[in-house]
């Protein structure tokens, strides 16, 4: 614990992101990765999403102070939270991602209508949780057949960004296709410039992590985002972890670059509270893609709902095989 705290204290002294990333241990660049490792990191991305969701659901809507009083440091998948989940169960973050991935695998190609139909079937199943913006977009599809909601200043939430894992895997190896499909799936429920930008950058970072990169290149991706949309700047992190997509990514990036491994990253994120299932899910997919399967604690994998775990791993492999990268390497 002392070593971990020292890493956090040392890295947080740096005010400029470029200095911060240089202060961290740089993982070896693995470009190009052999195919078995690519599939392994893809599985880790999808499982990271589910684990971050399950871990963060316990502390969703809590403040860091409340979390400290109740859990000291929340580090176990124990369920509970405001949704009273059983340990290892997940929320809408993972469920919508799996619904999206299932539509792509059924069609064998990009199928926006199929995704919308799966979202509708999922909503009709009375899920344990569904965000208001997602509900509105899916309801509009049900009533009007609408596959793109109109631009809305209130659509800058994180509900589209949270379901980027299957899109990143399906478009692996083609950044232009990633951008196109990221925005199309987002606009089923969320149509806002900041949401679009978040979806694209999350997908890009997941792909970088899977194919092999180092911290410097990952950090460069965030700097490009900040250059275009300064509100995403995350130095001098203020601790906001709300569903607003800017707060969400600031939280994810802060802990991704101020910790040394998958476990530390997720523990830091979910102990920030707020929209912890979604910040945990997004951090989990990026950190999983970057660190790989060996970095995911076995106790978390064991606690994750078996049906969710099996489906996430199965989808990850099949989606990568359908991707542009998969067509050349799988």
Which residue reads 């606690």 in tokens? 303
pLDDT digits (tens, 9 = 90+) for 288-304: 999 999 999 999 999 99
Phi and psi (nearest 5°) for 28?
Answer: -65, 140
DSSP string, 86-109: PTT---HHHHHHHHHHHHHHHHTS
User: Band of the pLDDT at 330, cuts 50, 70, 90?
Assistant: confident
User: Rounded to an integer, what distance in angstroms lies between the CA atom of residue 99 and that of residue 103?
Assistant: 6
Domain ranges of the chain: 15-329
Mean pLDDT across 299-328: 98
Average pLDDT for 201-209: 98
The tens digit of pLDDT for each residue in 238-269 reads 999 999 999 999 999 999 999 999 999 999 99
Q: Which residue has the higher pLDDT, 206 or 25?
A: 206
Asked if the model's pLDDT at residue 158 lies above 80, the reply is: yes
Q: How confident is the model at residue 22 (pLDDT cuts 50, 70, 90)?
A: very low
Q: Is the pLDDT of residue 45 over 80?
A: yes
Greatest Cα-to-Cα distance within the chain, rounded to the nearest angstrom: 57
How far, in Å, CA of 82 to CA of 61, rounded? 8
CA atoms of 134 and 188, how far apart (whole Å): 8
Q: What is the pLDDT of residues 68-105, one digit of tens each?
A: 999 999 999 999 999 999 999 999 999 999 999 999 99
Q: What is the mean pLDDT of residues 121-133?
A: 97
Q: DSSP E strands: which ranges in the chain?
A: none
Residue 277: pLDDT band (50, 70, 90) is very high
Cis peptide upstream of residue 137 (ω within 30 degrees of 0): no
| 160-198 per-position pLDDT tens digit | 999 999 999 999 999 999 999 999 999 999 999 999 999
- Secondary structure letter of residue 81 according to DSSP: T
CATH architecture of 15-329: Orthogonal Bundle (1.10)
């Amino acid at each position: 614990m002392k070593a971990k705290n020292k890493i956090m204290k040392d890295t947080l002294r740096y005010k400029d992101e470029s200095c911060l990333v240089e202060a961290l241990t740089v993982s070896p660049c693995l470009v190009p990765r052999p195919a078995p490792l690519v599939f392994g990191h893809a599985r880790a991305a999808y499982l990271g999403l589910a684990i971050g969701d399950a871990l963060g659901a316990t502390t969703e809507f809590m403040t860091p102070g409340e979390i400290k009083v109740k859990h000291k440091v929340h580090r176990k998948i124990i369920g509970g939270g405001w949704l009273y989940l059983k340990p290892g169960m997940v929320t809408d973050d993972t469920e919508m991602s799996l619904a999206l991935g299932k539509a792509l695998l059924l069609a064998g190609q990009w199928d926006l209508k199929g995704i919308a139909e799966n979202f509708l079937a999922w909503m009709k199943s009375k899920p344990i949780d569904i965000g208001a913006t997602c509900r509105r977009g899916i309801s509009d599809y049900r009533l009007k057949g609408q596959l793109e909601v109109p631009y809305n200043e209130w659509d800058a939430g994180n509900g589209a960004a949270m379901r980027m894992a299957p899109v990143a895997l399906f478009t692996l190896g083609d950044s232009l296709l990633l951008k196109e499909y990221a925005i199309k799936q987002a606009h089923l429920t969320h149509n806002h410039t900041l949401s679009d930008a978040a979806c694209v950058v999350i997908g890009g970072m997941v792909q970088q992590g899977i194919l092999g990169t180092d911290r410097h290149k990952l950090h460069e991706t965030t700097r490009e985002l900040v250059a275009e949309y300064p509100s995403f700047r995350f130095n001098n992190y203020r601790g906001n972890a709300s569903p607003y997509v800017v707060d969400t990514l600031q939280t994810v990036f802060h802990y991704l670059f101020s910790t040394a491994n998958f476990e530390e990253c997720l523990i830091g994120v979910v102990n920030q509270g707020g929209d912890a299932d979604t910040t945990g899910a997004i951090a989990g997919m990026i950190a999983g893609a970057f660190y790989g399967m060996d970095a995911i604690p076995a106790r978390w994998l064991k606690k994750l709902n078996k049906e969710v775990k099996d489906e996430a791993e199965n989808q990850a492999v099949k989606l990568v095989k359908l991707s542009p990268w998969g067509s050349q390497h799988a």
